[in-house]
A and B are shown apart, each in its own frame.
Chain A
Amino acid sequence: MSRSINIFAALAAISFMCAPAFVSASPKTSKLKGAMKFLSEAPLEKIVGTADGMGEVAFDPMNLSALKGKIIVPVKSMKTGNERRDSHLRSEGWLDEAKFPEITFVSKVVKPVGEVVTKGPVSSAKVTVEGDFTLHGVTKPLTAEVELKWKGDKLKLKTQFQIALADYNVAGTGDIVGSKVGKTIDVQVRLRGVVSK
């Protein structure tokens, strides 16, 4: 009897020691890759483009508020289907790739929206991410709703938001913004990666 009590006590002690480790498990880092799609709608022209996206996210499914991440989009990877327009986009009058080669988003505050939903091996959650969005050398706060999904060691996220070109001092050449290029740009980001062990 006393032996079984001892075993129970030992198991309880082990459980107690292990419990804090699960609660405060440090977030796992995930390198993400994917694509960004952007859409400009102006009275004279509708432009659809893509760019490569990459990022690093520190992710702990037990504590979504601790999510931290940075997403980088190289300006040179932006494509709109017309070589001359792409070189204009990268030029000094527009995004000025030589001076500002990257578009970045760095998360600051993450608030979970609702509960984590688990269906079979796939779990998903929505979070509101507040962070700093940097374009054309101008950094502004940006809030976006991000959908996270994870399965085993795989993680993917998607989000979409709008940016106003004037907020980032992107004036273009002539009076193009507002007529041929939309004043606001719709941005969709899809990234995925593997969480490091």
Chain B
Amino acid sequence: MKAIRAICLLGVIGLGVFWYTEGMHLATLEEKLVETTKVDDFGDEVTEKSWVKVNEIGLDYLGPAAGLLFGIAVVITIKLRRRS
């Protein structure tokens, strides 16, 4: 039981780190705006915008998953306390 609790808590931390590396979005980013610079026919540097498919997972998915793992850890902690 303690091992499962530890895994759950590590999972919560892992999801937190994963969220950080994904760019800390609240909503999952399915497409990302990419701006490329080019020189137009006026001789000006202009940025061309295009949307590129990505999947940077946000808190909308990671939040519930982390909450579930944390909940399991809490339930295990309560059960372990009652047992002792």
Contacts and interface: CB of A to CB of B under 8 A. Distances in A.
Interface of A: 35, 37, 44-45, 48-50, 79, 81-85, 122, 149, 151, 154, 156, 180, 190
23 contacts: A35-B49, A44-B26, A45-B25, A45-B26, A45-B27, A48-B33, A50-B33, A79-B31, A79-B51, A81-B32, A81-B33, A82-B28, A82-B29, A82-B30, A82-B31, A84-B27, A84-B60, A85-B27, A122-B42, A149-B42, A149-B44, A151-B42, A180-B26
Most A CB atoms within 10 A — which of B29, B33, B42, B51? B42
Given A44-B26, A82-B30, 10 more contacts: A37-B49, A49-B33, A50-B51, A79-B51, A81-B29, A82-B31, A122-B42, A149-B44, A151-B41, A156-B40
**Interface residues of A: mostly helix, strand, loop or mixed?**
strand
B64 interface: no
Contacts of A81: 29-33, 51
Nearest to B60: A84
Contacts of B33: 37, 48-50, 81
Contacts of A49: 33
Contacts of A151: 41-42
Interface string B58-83: 00100000000000000000000000
Contacts of A82: 27-31
A83 B54 CA distance: 12
Nearest to B50: A50
Interface in B8-66: 25-33, 40-44, 46, 49, 51, 60
A42 to B, nearest CB: 10
